[in-house]
């Protein structure tokens, strides 16, 4: 059943379901095109609900039979599901339905990927498996019987029976349907075990396709570290006898936290030195942790409704960020987080798709798995902790876990735990969840009689549906550095609550330099009058690594903006500052590599737009290329020393090794502009790890070289789908502005291209939209190509189509010609017959 007119769902309309569920028994008789799902569900009236309508969600299900208390019934078909008349007392609902996993290309519900069965139920996919109240506030205990001839049959919870062609699983923890999972296939496990702090032994498995078993060890270590970390840091212990992870090739997102049976996009779990880059290793470690941490923040305590998505996602992202910081370097990790936040969340907050961390309405919830919900959601947790302190934060978390275990709750419930342990009123703070847009924080300074006053004003620009904005609670972490470079006031958190507020530091001898928004203490845009000399001073003396990096970045941005707008020459202040940092052997190589990087073209486009200048993508590209050449020449003497390939046989995927390689490869990409690619060519031939092999290839491609290496890479890796994704991406990402669409189009005809695999589709078309000058080339070729691709993908996979339409979200930044071309493409997408609800909602919002 397909819905006719998409409906908007509102947070304010929430009502509890009229029935609770005492138990769910499911039987699956697997068949590629005719799987039978038999359900037996014990319902009872919910005394807390006033609406007694018995409505079960159901989509694309063929009903074979249904019964209530053993008597056959014919339910009424209604929009999005079925209705039936039920007794005003406990009753048993039974139904048998038929579904077709093989033709399920949307990858939601039960589907097939390379011959294996897999499920994806979050957010509303369970309704494609059987009739059910598919909403997170209905929690139930599941028993699942799987009948199929696959050697491995998995579901949630603990195994209770394993026989020939059958397996039975029982999950003792009540859970919402979105956490249901089933996997069946010819899989091999990488086994291990973990003993919890109370001495319980847990069986751990990573299940993969034959041939991938050598890519599981790193993920397994990450899992064990995560389990230990959650015990040590949050006092949270694992609660089943077994924890399974499965790698699936066709998956819309990164991974999914199904209870006891996490399902991963294979790109987010499979790792090996030869096939994965350092960035892959870091990401895999973080995602394994993220999904594992959901066991408490999401599963044991879940969301009352999908508007509360950030309750589990923001918190779990925050937890995985802290974990990664503990495993690697907090300084480097924080800078990377800020880069991602600005690139994705600030971009979202600045355009037509801006929405609050807790949205108030949606048409398709899949469209709200956004940088705002996830990354800004995590920033809110970080701010809360900064404001109340570490101890109160931990106490509040403990109370939240105690109080709400087994429940489906709201942001109000979460905040109430912290109000209780601190005695604070968090009403104003709560606005971070409801008010969209990135606050602009303006600062000026006054110096008088040994007192430094910092004057702040905050404003948040209007966003769709929210014209008026209130002042937010902004924790501003500040430190003061004396003229000799010593810190005279260590980090202090100023708590701004008004639209305008001043803070004074008294009793200072000489005028210090203020280091403001240390560690990026709030997700705001700081606007501060500061000259190059002060920036260079902070770059050299600040004790806060985020601030030092930030000063370098501001110098780089100003230089580039001046080159773009005034054809200025690269600023010597920038060139000297960056030389000082990258050649400073006392500093962490990973940090130096970050300082080496130039701001992205997209970031520069937004900065120009904010300054009232229409960005010209080609000019931005040219300026950035020109600066790359200048930096290369300016540092030509230092580059050969900075380029230090890993000794063959010594690769380790840890922070230390990865930091050294990122500095070395950053140097290599500059070196390639000077030496005709000699160093990169030899590294490409010798590297014993993917980080350096791909890094060398990338350096060659970005210097306009590397044609034969590209061929060699393909010949070597044609059978490795994850490495081939890199091969596709690199070519599109490094294509010159006038060639990008052509390159992407040609690759879409490559025999290994398919739009049925989200990783492959993103490898080409995600890369195209990320190639700023290429995507926005004046010809409009890339706009048209992407629109063509989205139109043909929509009927196969609406979720990915909708997500990728976000490539157009910045369209209002550009000139009238480009806006006109984009509008034409967006309108063409919207006019597609039977366009999905997902894409319709996204494209309409972008256009509005």
Question: What would the DSSP string read from start to end of 497-518?
Answer: -SSEEEEEE---SSPPEEEESG
Could you list the residues that contact Zn ion (CB under 5 A)? 313, 316
Q: Which of 39, 119, 120, 258 binds ligand PHE (CB under 6 A)?
A: 120
Q: How far apart are CA 265 and CA 263, in angstroms?
A: 7
323: contact with ligand PHE by CB under 6 A: no
Residue 253 interface partner, choices ligand PHE, Zn ion, none, CB cut-off 5-8 Å depending on type: ligand PHE
Q: How far apart are CA 134 and CA 121, in angstroms?
A: 9
Closer to Zn ion by Cβ: residue 37 or 123: 123
302: contact with ligand PHE by CB under 6 A: no
Q: Which among 59, 122, 257, 291 is annotated as catalytic?
A: 291
Nearest to 295 by CA among 203, 173, 138, 417: 173
Task: Please name the residue ranges forming H helices in 567-600.
Answer: 572-582, 589-596
User: Closest approach of Cβ 451 to ligand PHE, in Å?
Assistant: 47
Q: Is 831 exposed, middle or buried (0-12, 13-18, 19+ CB in 10 A)?
A: exposed
Which of the stretches 15-23, 75-83, 255-263, 457-465 binds ligand PHE when contact is defined by CB under 6 A?
255-263
122: contact with ligand PHE by CB under 6 A: yes
Residue 256 interface partner, choices Zn ion, ligand PHE, none, CB cut-off 5-8 Å depending on type: ligand PHE
369: contact with ligand PHE by CB under 6 A: yes
Residue 194 is classified by DSSP as E
Closer to ligand PHE by Cβ: residue 94 or 257: 257
Which of the stretches 142-150, 163-171, 188-196, 252-260 binds ligand PHE when contact is defined by CB under 6 A?
252-260
Residue number closest to ligand PHE, CB atom: 253
User: Closest approach of Cβ 293 to Zn ion, in Å?
Assistant: 8
713: contact with ligand PHE by CB under 6 A: no
| # residues contacting ligand PHE (CB under 6 A) | 11
Q: How far apart are CA 371 and CA 344, in angstroms?
A: 6
Residue 238 interface partner, choices Zn ion, ligand PHE, none, CB cut-off 5-8 Å depending on type: none
Closer to Zn ion by Cβ: residue 317 or 581: 317
Residue 796 is classified by DSSP as T
Q: How far apart are CA 563 and CA 559, in angstroms?
A: 6
Q: Is 291 a catalytic residue?
A: yes
User: Closest approach of Cβ 543 to ligand PHE, in Å?
Assistant: 34
256: contact with ligand PHE by CB under 6 A: yes
Residue 122 interface partner, choices ligand PHE, Zn ion, none, CB cut-off 5-8 Å depending on type: ligand PHE
Instruction: Give the chain's count of helices (H) and strands (E).
Output: 30, 31
User: Closest approach of Cβ 121 to ligand PHE, in Å?
Assistant: 8
Closer to ligand PHE by Cβ: residue 291 or 838: 291
Question: What would the DSSP string read from start to end of 645-709?
Answer: PPPTT----SHHHHHHHHHHHHHHHHHTTTSTTHHHHHHHHH-SSHHHHHHHHHHHHHTT--HHH
725: contact with ligand PHE by CB under 6 A: no
Residue 353 is classified by DSSP as T
291: contact with ligand PHE by CB under 6 A: yes
User: Closest approach of Cβ 120 to Zn ion, in Å?
Assistant: 13
Residue 386 interface partner, choices ligand PHE, Zn ion, none, CB cut-off 5-8 Å depending on type: none
290: contact with ligand PHE by CB under 6 A: yes
Q: How far apart are CA 778 and CA 763, in angstroms?
A: 23
275: contact with ligand PHE by CB under 6 A: no
Kind and range of the H or E run holding 847: helix 837-847
Closer to Zn ion by Cβ: residue 313 or 825: 313
User: Closest approach of Cβ 253 to Zn ion, in Å?
Assistant: 9
183: contact with ligand PHE by CB under 6 A: no
Residue 120 interface partner, choices ligand PHE, Zn ion, none, CB cut-off 5-8 Å depending on type: ligand PHE
SS3 label, residue 91: strand
For β-strands 302-303 and 261-265, DSSP reports them as: unpaired
Task: Report the length, in residues, of the chain.
Answer: 848
Which of the stretches 117-125, 591-599, 608-616, 708-716 binds ligand PHE when contact is defined by CB under 6 A?
117-125
Q: Is 752 exposed, middle or buried (0-12, 13-18, 19+ CB in 10 A)?
A: middle
Q: How far apart are CA 266 and CA 764, in angstroms?
A: 18
SS3 label, residue 108: coil
Residue 9 is classified by DSSP as E
309: contact with ligand PHE by CB under 6 A: no
Q: How far apart are CA 695 and CA 714, in angstroms?
A: 15
Closer to ligand PHE by Cβ: residue 314 or 479: 314
User: Closest approach of Cβ 369 to Zn ion, in Å?
Assistant: 9
Other C-beta atoms lying within 10 Å of the C-beta of residue 75: 20
Residue 245 interface partner, choices Zn ion, ligand PHE, none, CB cut-off 5-8 Å depending on type: none
Q: How far apart are CA 798 and CA 790, in angstroms?
A: 9
Q: Which residue has the tokens 């010819």?
A: 186
542, 481 contact by CB (below 8 A): yes
Question: What would the DSSP string read from start to end of 731-794?
Answer: HHHHS-TTTHHHHHHHHTTSTT--TTSHHHHIIIIIHHHHSHHHHT-TT-HHHHHHHHHHHHHH
Which of the stretches 248-256, 528-536, 557-565, 687-695 binds ligand PHE when contact is defined by CB under 6 A?
248-256
129: contact with ligand PHE by CB under 6 A: no
User: Closest approach of Cβ 317 to ligand PHE, in Å?
Assistant: 8
246: contact with ligand PHE by CB under 6 A: no
255: contact with ligand PHE by CB under 6 A: yes
Residue 555 interface partner, choices ligand PHE, Zn ion, none, CB cut-off 5-8 Å depending on type: none
763, 800 contact by CB (below 8 A): no
Residue 375 is classified by DSSP as I
Residue 747 interface partner, choices ligand PHE, Zn ion, none, CB cut-off 5-8 Å depending on type: none
Residue 255 interface partner, choices Zn ion, ligand PHE, none, CB cut-off 5-8 Å depending on type: ligand PHE
User: Closest approach of Cβ 177 to ligand PHE, in Å?
Assistant: 13
User: Closest approach of Cβ 799 to ligand PHE, in Å?
Assistant: 8
253: contact with ligand PHE by CB under 6 A: yes
Residue 787 interface partner, choices ligand PHE, Zn ion, none, CB cut-off 5-8 Å depending on type: none
Closer to ligand PHE by Cβ: residue 120 or 302: 120
Sequence-distant (6+) residues with CB within 8 A of 369 are 123, 253, 309, 313
Closer to ligand PHE by Cβ: residue 21 or 255: 255
Closer to ligand PHE by Cβ: residue 377 or 645: 377
257: contact with ligand PHE by CB under 6 A: yes
Per-residue exposure over 706-736, b if at least 16 CB sit within 10 Å of its own CB, e if not: beebbeebbeebeebbbbbbbbbbbbbbbbe
Question: What would the DSSP string read from start to end of 261-274?
Answer: EEEEEGGGT---TT
User: Closest approach of Cβ 298 to ligand PHE, in Å?
Assistant: 7
Residues recognised as catalytic? 291
Please report, as ranges, the residues that interact with ligand PHE according to CB under 6 A: 120, 122-123, 253, 255-257, 290-291, 313, 369
């Amino acid at each position: 059943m397909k819905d006719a007119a998409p409906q908007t769902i509102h947070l304010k309309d929430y009502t509890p379901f009229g029935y609770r569920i005492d138990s769910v028994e499911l039987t699956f008789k697997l068949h590629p095109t005719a799987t039978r799902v038999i359900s037996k569900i014990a319902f009872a009236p919910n005394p807390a609900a006033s609406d007694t309508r018995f409505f079960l969600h159901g989509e694309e299900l063929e009903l074979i039979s249904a019964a209530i208390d053993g008597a056959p019934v014919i339910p009424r078909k209604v929009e999005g599901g079925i209705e039936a008349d039920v007794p005003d007392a406990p009753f048993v609902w039974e139904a048998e339905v038929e579904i077709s996993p093989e033709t399920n290309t949307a990858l939601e519900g039960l589907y097939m990927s390379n011959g294996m069965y897999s499920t994806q139920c979050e957010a509303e996919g369970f309704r494609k498996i059987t009739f059910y109240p598919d909403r997170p506030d209905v929690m139930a205990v599941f028993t699942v019987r799987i009948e199929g001839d696959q050697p491995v049959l998995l579901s949630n919870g603990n195994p209770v029976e394993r026989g020939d062609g059958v397996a039975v699983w029982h999950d003792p923890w009540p859970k919402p349907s979105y956490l249901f999972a089933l996997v069946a296939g010819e899989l091999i496990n990488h086994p291990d075990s973990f003993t919890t702090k109370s001495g319980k032994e847990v069986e751990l498995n990573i299940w993969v396709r034959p041939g991938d078993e050598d890519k599981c060890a790193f993920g397994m270590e990450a899992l064990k570290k995560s389990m230990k970390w959650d015990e040590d840091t949050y006092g949270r212990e694992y609660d089943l006898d077994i924890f399974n992870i499965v790698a699936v090739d066709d998956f819309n997102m990164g991974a999914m936290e199904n209870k006891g049976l996490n399902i991963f996009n294979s790109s987010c779990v499979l790792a090996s030195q030869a096939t994965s880059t350092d960035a892959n290793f870091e990401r895999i470690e973080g995602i394994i942790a993220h999904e594992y941490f959901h066991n408490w923040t999401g599963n044991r305590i879940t969301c009352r409704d999908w508007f509360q998505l950030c309750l589990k996602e923001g918190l779990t992202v925050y937890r995985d960020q802290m974990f990664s910081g503990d495993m690697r370097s907090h300084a480097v990790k924080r800078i990377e987080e800020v880069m991602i936040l600005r690139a994705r969340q600030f971009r979202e907050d600045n355009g037509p798709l801006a929405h609050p961390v807790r949205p108030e309405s949606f048409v398709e919830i899949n469209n709200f798995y956004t940088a705002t919900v996830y990354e800004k959601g995590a920033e809110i947790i970080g701010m809360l902790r900064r404001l109340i302190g570490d101890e109160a934060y931990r106490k509040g978390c403990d109370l939240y876990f105690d109080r709400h275990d087994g429940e489906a709750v709201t942001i109000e419930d979460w905040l109430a735990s912290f109000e209780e342990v601190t005695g604070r009123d968090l009403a104003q703070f709560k606005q971070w969840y409801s008010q969209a847009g990135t606050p602009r924080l303006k600062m000026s300074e006054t110096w008088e009689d040994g007192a430094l006053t910092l004057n702040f004003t905050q404003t948040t620009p209007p966003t769709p549906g929210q014209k008026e904005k209130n002042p937010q609670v902004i924790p501003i972490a500040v430190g003061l550095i004396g003229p000799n470079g010593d810190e005279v006031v260590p980090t202090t958190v100023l708590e701004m609550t008004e639209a305008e507020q001043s803070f004074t530091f008294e009793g200072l001898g000489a005028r210090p330099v203020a280091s403001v928004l240390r560690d990026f203490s709030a997700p705001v845009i700081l606007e501060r009058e500061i000259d190059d000399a002060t920036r260079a001073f902070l770059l050299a003396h600040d004790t806060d690594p985020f601030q030092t990096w930030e000063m370098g970045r501001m110098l780089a941005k100003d230089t580039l903006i001046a080159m773009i707008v005034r054809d200025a020459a690269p600023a010597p202040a920038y060139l000297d500052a960056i030389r000082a940092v990258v050649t400073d052997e006392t500093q962490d190589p990973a940090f130096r590599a970050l300082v080496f990087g130039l701001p992205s073209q997209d970031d520069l486009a937004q900065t120009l737009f904010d300054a009232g200048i229409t960005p010209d993508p080609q000019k931005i590209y040219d300026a950035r290329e020109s600066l790359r050449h200048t930096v290369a020449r300016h540092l030509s003497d230092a580059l050969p020393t900075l380029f230090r390939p890993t000794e063959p046989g010594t690769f380790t995927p840890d922070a230390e090794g990865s930091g050294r390689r990122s500095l070395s490869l950053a140097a290599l990409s500059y070196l390639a502009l000077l030496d005709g690619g000699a160093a990169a060519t030899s590294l490409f031939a010798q590297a014993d790890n993917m980080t350096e092999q791909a890094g060398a290839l990338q350096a060659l491609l970005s210097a306009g070289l590397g044609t034969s290496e590209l061929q060699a890479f393909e010949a070597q890796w044609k059978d490795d789908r994850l490495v081939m994704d890199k091969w596709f991406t690199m070519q599109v990402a490094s294509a010159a502005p006038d060639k990008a669409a052509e390159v992407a189009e040609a690759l879409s005809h490559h025999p290994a291209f398919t739009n049925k695999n989200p990783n492959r589709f993103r490898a080409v078309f995600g890369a195209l939209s990320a190639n700023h000058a290429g995507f926005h080339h004046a010809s409009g070729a890339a706009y048209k190509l992407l629109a063509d691709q989205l139109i043909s993908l929509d009927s196969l996979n609406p979720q990915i189509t909708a997500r990728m339409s976000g490539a157009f979200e910045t369209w209002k930044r550009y000139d009238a010609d480009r806006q006109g071309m984009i509008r034409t493409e967006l309108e063409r997408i919207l006019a597609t017959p039977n366009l999905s609800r997902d894409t319709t909602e996204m494209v309409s919002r972008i256009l509005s």
